[in-house]
Amino acid sequence: MSITDLADLSPSARRTAEEFLSTTPADLRDDLRAHLLDSLSPAATDADVRSVIAALGPIGDGTARRGLRGRLLGIPYDFTAPTWDKIISRTWNPADPRIWQPHLFGIGWTPNLGAIAARLGLIEPDAEDDPLTTAPLSPAAILPAAVATMAVLGSAAVLGRSLPDRVGRGWRVDGTPKQVGSRARAIAGSIGWTAGPTAAVAAALAAGAGTTPAQRRNRAGAVVVATAMATGTAVDWLGVVIRARSGRPQPWVGPAAILAAAGSVFGILLTQARRGRRAEQDRDLSGPH
């Protein structure tokens, strides 16, 4: 549930929001205030307010011009440039009970996987710190993208030559392909869109934990995007193979690709949140009494 006035927030959260607005250009202030009201719930903490502010990016350099975000016939839109922090703030915010957040870019909604995890009792929604910045990313975060890449490589090696010279790619609602191209191009594209993101996840993990919370959130955001790309592409490739061999429409491919991407991201962020919570608890237990 969003708020209608900053007075609906706790004193500390309201103070943070008001201090931020006081530093913004006057011609943007009303839009920014409306964005805060739409993005925050009455239970929002000071950290939640700071997270929403961070997701806005720089103010006053053209990234938050009037009209770039708001609502049209009750549907939210946001045409400000996506950032890694914005991706994490929208997809994993357990402190906000709203399951649907404004879309990362464009018109519509993005699922708040953190709110889903909190409703399922998998994590605590009111933790004091941000668990995604407390612990390094788990090495297991590479597994979904790596499995997707191996699945595409393996199936391309075994079944690739048996496919027709031209195959369909991209999927309409009725399961028919949006375009038809060469078999070689479909194979190369699928391998590239799984192996490339997997390499990006590996690079993020190899870079280490980062020295600041912002760096850790940025790396988590990069892993989230790369994982979604790899797993979604693997399902798309599966649809290409099945349709080429059966000749029938595959209406399940689009929804399955979305579910695979969301499910893999959910698993990574849930694992990371739990790792971060354990690290916080260990720190509290080892601290001075």
pLDDT, tens digit (0-9, with 9 covering 90-100), for 165-194: 999 888 888 888 888 999 999 999 999 999
Q: Is the pLDDT of residue 131 over 80?
A: no
Tens-digit pLDDT profile for residues 228-237: 999 999 999 9
Confidence of residue 284 (pLDDT cuts 50, 70, 90): low
CA dihedral (35, 227, 276, 206) positive or negative: negative
pTM of the model: 0.72
Residue 251: CB atoms within 10 Å: 15
Q: pLDDT > 90: what percent of the chain?
A: 30
Does the pLDDT of residue 65 top 60, yes or no? no
Assess contact for 225 and 91: CB atoms under 8 A: no
Full 3-state SS string of the chain:
CCCCCHHHCCHHHHHHHHHHHHCCCHHHHHHHHHHHHHHCCCCCCHHHHHHHHHHHCCCCCCCCCCCCEEEECCEEEECCCCCHHHHHHHHCCCCCCCCEEECCCEECEEECHHHHHHHCCCCCCCCCCCHHHCCCCCHHHHHHHHHHHHHHHHHHHHHHHHCCCEEEEEECCCCCEEEEEEHHHHHHHHHHHHHHHHHHHHHHHHCCCCCCHHHHHHHHHHHHHHHHHHHHHHHHHHHHHHHHHHCCCCCCHHHHHHHHHHHHHHHHHHHHHHHHHHHHHHHHHHCCC
Amino acid in position 131? P
- Integer angstrom CA distances of residue 120 from 17, 37, 140, 256: 30, 26, 23, 22
Pair of tokens at residue 110: 């993005």
Q: Compute the distance between CA of residue 218 and CA of residue 133 in angstroms, rounded to an integer.
A: 10
Signed CA dihedral, 213, 214, 218, 224: sign only: positive
Burial class (CB in 10 A: 0-12, 13-18, 19+), 4: exposed
- pLDDT tier at 265, thresholds 50, 70, 90: very high
Determine the average pLDDT of the residues in 96-104. 83
Q: Which residue matches tokens 């990362």?
A: 104
Q: Is the pLDDT of residue 76 over 70?
A: yes
Distance of CA 248 to the CA centre of its chain: 33
Query: Would you say 136 and 204 are in contact if contact means Cβ atoms under 8 Å apart?
Result: no
* Mean pLDDT within 53-69: 61
- Tokens for 168, please give them: 């369909």
